[in-house]
Amino acid sequence: MHNRAEPPRDPAAPDPASPASGLLAEIGQFGRAVKHVFGAQSHLLAAELGLARSAVSWLLLAGLAATVAGVGLGLSVFAFAGVLLAKWFDSWLWALLALCVMQALFLLGAIVLFRRCMHWMSLPVTRSEWSAMMHDTLREAGGQGGSDRTGDEERSPS
């Protein structure tokens, strides 16, 4: 009856007659965006893992180089100290004896430190925590359900 011309529609605008299809299109677009984001994240993760794998070998190589350099530096320092002691004592025999005493004192200090650390590991609280950790690890590794625990081990750590 009326000859009104319809206004031109925007092709990107959703169809007002079918709101359900517009919702489905948006859900599909959201799904594609999520897939795109997670795809990019997985590529980034793969690149980072490759870089980390490469970094581990370089770290091991750098650690080896630092160890070799440290040993070389230590030997050089002891040689220099030996030469200085030989000049001071005016005898290579006394210089080498002094170097041996210095190395023995260093070794004794390292042994005392090691024993102190072992003592800390044997304190009662540490022993009980270590024992509980070992029992839990063995139970998980053996696939046991914990039926072999005694009443002493069942108390919870505080």
> What pLDDT, in 10s, does the model give residues 67-97?
999 999 999 999 999 999 999 999 999 999 9
Greatest mean pLDDT among 29-38, 52-61, 101-110, 131-140 lies in 101-110
Range in 34-38, 139-143, 144-148 with the lowest mean pLDDT: 144-148
pLDDT for the residue 77: 92
Q: CA 57 to CA 99: how far, in whole Å?
A: 37
pLDDT for the residue 20: 62
* Rounded average pLDDT over 13-19: 53
- Is pLDDT of 34 > 60? yes
Q: CA 92 to CA 95: how far, in whole Å?
A: 5
What global pTM score does this model have?
Answer: 0.43
Greatest mean pLDDT among 5-14, 15-24, 92-101, 113-122 lies in 92-101
Rg (CA), the chain: 37
pLDDT for the residue 158: 46
For every residue of 20-85, DSSP letters joined together read HHHHHHHHHHHHHHHHHHHHHHHHHHHHHHHHHHHHHHHHHHHHHHHHHHHHHHHHHHHHHHHHHH
- Is pLDDT of 156 > 80? no
Q: Which residue has the higher pLDDT, 19 or 52?
A: 52
% of residues, the chain, pLDDT over 70: 78
